[in-house]
Amino acid sequence: MTEQWNWRGAAKCGTTDAEDLFVVGAQQREAKLFCRTCPVRTECLAHALDEGIEFGVWGGMTERERRALLRRRPDVDNWMDLLTDARTVHFRRETADAPRP
Tell which residue, 40, 79, 80, has the closest CA to residue 59. Answer: 40
| Contact (CB, 8 A) for 41 and 70 | no
Q: How many CB atoms lie within 10 A of CB 31?
A: 19
Is 80 annotated as a binding-site member?
no
| pTM for the full predicted model | 0.82
Question: DSSP character for 4?
Answer: P
Is 91 annotated as a binding-site member?
no
Question: Quick one: pLDDT at residue 5?
Answer: 67
Segment among 10-19, 24-33, 60-69, 75-84 with least mean pLDDT:
10-19
Question: Quick one: pLDDT at residue 77?
Answer: 96
Question: Quick one: pLDDT at residue 1?
Answer: 47
Task: Say yes or no to pLDDT of 47 above 90.
Answer: yes
pLDDT tens per residue, range 56-101: 999 999 999 999 999 999 999 999 999 999 989 988 887 777 676 6
Is 13 annotated as a binding-site member?
yes
DSSP letters spanning 46-87: HHHHHHT--SS-BTTB-HHHHHHHHHH-TT-S-HHHHHHHHH
Is 52 annotated as a binding-site member?
no
